[in-house]
Structure 1
């Protein structure tokens, strides 16, 4: 229970500056400890299983999805707008434009080469026809 740890006073109780969430976790743990060991709950070591149960039973530091959603709604998240991010976006757009232009140029070259190949094919046919021979 990291939150609110600095706010403990010498008697073992918490000061009033503790956040509401930390105070609730603290109170939930103490209620569970009192219920489990009514005679000597104050003298016992911190019980990990009770701490696990009082915090909602989520293992290994996992968090509840609803908590994350509510925090995200409270903070009204903004899109990234840093200079480096904008620069990256601009570079990406420029690379896309270049790729499209190069692709169009390659298509034109391919069409021209195909026309040349077709023309050469017709020339060979005409030459062999004039010579009276067939193409091999």
Structure 2
């Protein structure tokens, strides 16, 4: 969905129709992106639900990743020009991006490394 929105905002106006202030081409791309995302998630959901059962540490890593992305959103909010608590350009500087992506990769790699695949008997017990 995010990719569809990113693509839609770059499209030139088509002049087809308008929906809620959005031109027709942009609306169509966002609608199809959402629809495709729903279909993909429907089939991928089962796989994602079973993954933490086999690799329990991945659940903790997923929570940490969500929390870390929340920190990034907080930084962007605090740097917004109307909020102005931190410098407006801080989220775009190289060192912040390096720290953010470095920690994200460390969490992901750590979750992968510390996840122990449960055997068939352990998976059945849970």
Query: TM-score if structure 1 supplies the norm length?
Result: 0.23
Query: TM-score if structure 2 supplies the norm length?
Result: 0.24
Larger radius of gyration between Structure 1 and Structure 2? 1
- Structure with bigger helix share is 2
